[in-house]
Structure 1
Amino acid sequence: MPADPTTDLLLITCASGKQATALLPLLSHWKCLRLAVHSASSKSRLEQQYPHAEVIAADLYSPTTTLSLLKDVTACIHIGPSYHPHERSIGHMMIDAALLSPTLKHFILSSVLHTQLDKMLNHSCKRGVEERLIESGLPYTILQPTTFMDNIPIGMLAGQEQPVFPAAWSTDSKFSWIATRDLAAAMHAVLVEREKHLYAQYPLVSTHGPLSFGEAMHIISSKISKDVKIEHLDFRKAVDSVLMRLYGMAEGIDQRTKDTAQRMILYYDNRGIVGNSNVLEWLIGRGATQFDDWVDVKLGELK
């Protein structure tokens, strides 16, 4: 049976992040929503945007919290707190709580492309959550998105008279990219169609071919009619820039989180990460968003 948006209670974790922010506008027809966020400010913002939803500010690193969040839930989209030192444990606690739920029909895990890449701690962490979910016996779907286009500060670059992109790793390394609007469409299809997607793992890529950050900046330059210069950050500044994007600060961060950022930067500097767009396009039933199209959409939003 497909999902029933009129009666099914849907839980989304990390509901104030990029992934959920793109998904929530597609759920206007969903009557019973429970959104888990980390901060009081996020709770206030989402309550204003989605007054029909139950918004809960909670620390996910607690078995009691996860049990409470999953009470009466029919479907769960678990988006783990990336780079959190306890992300693996949080994922395990969510799965364990789901196993105790008599109402749960679908556990959707947002993971990452190529969890086999052990050299990156964030990939290894998410692979551990995937393993626990697969062995749990729960009805699951695993989504594995690649690098987000939406992490590029297009508004900042367009607004600068002489735009400069601070590069944390080699701008020659090749990447496959995904637009959060495409990820949201895939999440929505999996959520609504449910049984069609049980026990599946979907690698999710938007771009039809690999694209380096240098090539991405060249596309942006042509779209904004300004030459985007690239500033190659030294290693320490590169780590700080990643932490600033994630947490809004680089000091006072758990060393295990810094370890994760450092390992990712070193990997990306030498290898990048690439995949294929076929699965995503099949899931969403349309052509995936290409990078130049994404730039056009974002510049249109700015206007």
Structure 2
Amino acid sequence: MPANPSTDLLLITCASGKQSTALLPLLSTWKHLRLAVHSASSATRLRAQWPHAEVIQTDLYSPSNCSSLLKDVSIVLHIGPSYHPHEAAIGTMMIDAAAHSHGSGTGVLKHFILSSVLNTQLRKMMNHDCKRVVEEALMESGLPYTILQPTTFMDNLPLQAFIAQDEPAFTCGWNPDIKFSWLTLSDLAAVMYTVLLERESHFFAQYPLVSTRAPLSFKEVLGIVSERIGKEIRVLKAPFEQAVENLCKRLYGTVEGVDARSRDAAMRMILYYDSRGLVGSANVLEWVLRREGCTVEEWVERAMEGR
């Protein structure tokens, strides 16, 4: 049967990140929310934003913490900590705890939703390979699951900064002429909400999620943005080491003290993107949402209108 927002307890991990931030406004009528975060600052912010939710500050790299989080949970949306040196282990711990709570269908857990990444088969990228391991563990767990595989987010582009600046510029970490498929966070959130509510019809599915029908390079996307905001955005390419530092700073807020394994993952991704990009089809997203995905033009217009 479909999920019941009045009674089902929903757990979301990495609940202070960009994916959860896009989803949470859609859950305003969901009565029982448990939001797991890592830092005290994130916990404080979410408690202020979502006072009806139970916000738990915890370290997911712990079997006992994962088990505690899943107590009485009906649905879990597991968003793993990308580039974390133990991302695969954390995902496996969450799955093991969920399988125990599911009890082969006799327990309270009804649905495990995993936010993964498009094309986990691309093992040359460590962040993709970690998620591939988690996907495999989930498929073999006996849990009723849905795997969501988002591609590159448009929202990672600093659109508001472009709008505010007189002479906007963007420094790309890889070849800006390489093609990518793109997804908006709003489309991802809409898919998550649909899968949450409809539940059984999405069991044992893997959904590659792309908003844009045709692959577009960063240069092409920024050209569309330039046209819409009425300002030309200069597109630059950072040297490799600078690109790694820029990505680490975006992910962690600093380049100091970043785990070497996380830095390795950033380096591998940048090298891969520099020659191959990341592409997929919009068909599945359109089927799940029963509409077309958001275009780059629509994304810019919505941002300019404050939506």
Task: Give the TM-score category using the shorter length.
Answer: over 0.9
Q: Which residue of 2 aligns with 1:15?
A: 15
Map 1:63-102 to 2 at 5 A: 63-101=63-101, 102=107
Query: What is the rounded CA distance, in whole Å, between the counterparts of 1:218 and 1:201 in structure 2?
Result: 32
Map 1:120-269 to 2 at 5 A.
120-269=125-274
Q: Quick one: which amino acid aligns to residue 87 of structure 1?
A: E
Name the CA distance, whole Å, in 2 between partners of 1:152 and 1:250: 20
TM-score normalised by L of structure 1: 0.98
Give, in angstroms, the shift of residue 94 of structure 1: 0.1
Distance apart, 1:299 and its partner CA:
2.0
Compute the RMSD of aligned alpha carbons: 0.9
Residue-pair matches, total: 302
Residue of structure 2 equivalent to 1:51: 51
In the alignment, structure 1 residue 32 sits paired with structure 2 residue 32: yes
Where does residue 279 of structure 1 map in the other structure?
Answer: 284
Aligned counterparts of 2:153 and 2:279: Cα–Cα separation in 1: 12
CA–CA distance in structure 2, aligned partners of residues 172 and 231 of structure 1: 11
Partners of 1:155 and 1:249 in 2: CA distance: 22
Deviation at 1:184, TM superposition (A): 0.4
Q: Name which of structure 1's ranges 243-252 and 109-118 shifts more when overlaid on structure 2.
A: 243-252
**Distance (whole Å) between structure 2 residues aligned to residue 297 and residue 244 of structure 1:** 28
SS of match in other structure, 2:112: strand
- Aligned identity (percent) is 62
Deviation at 1:41, TM superposition (A): 1.1
AA in 1 matched with 2:77: I
Partner of 2:293: 288
The offset of 1:19, in angstroms, is 0.6
- Deviations 1:48-107, CA, capped at 9 Å, x for gaps: 111110001111111111000000100000000000000000000000111111211000
SS at match of 1:133: helix
Q: Counterparts of 2:254 and 2:165 in 1: how far apart (Å)?
A: 22
Question: What do the CA deviations read for 1:150-169 (whole angstroms, capped 9, x no partner)?
Answer: 10011112211111101100
- Report the Cα offset of residue 265 of structure 1: 0.3
TM-score, structure 2 as length reference: 0.97
Matches of 2:43 and 2:175, distance apart in 1? 37
What secondary structure is seen at the aligned counterpart in 1 of 2:140?
helix
Distance in 2 (alpha carbons) for counterparts of 1:40 and 1:296: 35
Equivalent residue, structure 2, for 1:114: 119
Unaligned runs of 5+ in 1: none
Looking at structure 2, the residues matched to 27 and 17 of structure 1 have their Cα atoms a distance apart, in angstroms, of 16
Q: Higher mean Cα deviation, 241-250 or 64-73? A: 241-250
Q: CA–CA distance in 1 between the matches of 2:72 and 2:131?
A: 26
CA distance in 1, matches of 2:2, 2:217: 39
Unaligned runs of 5+ residues in structure 2 are 102-106
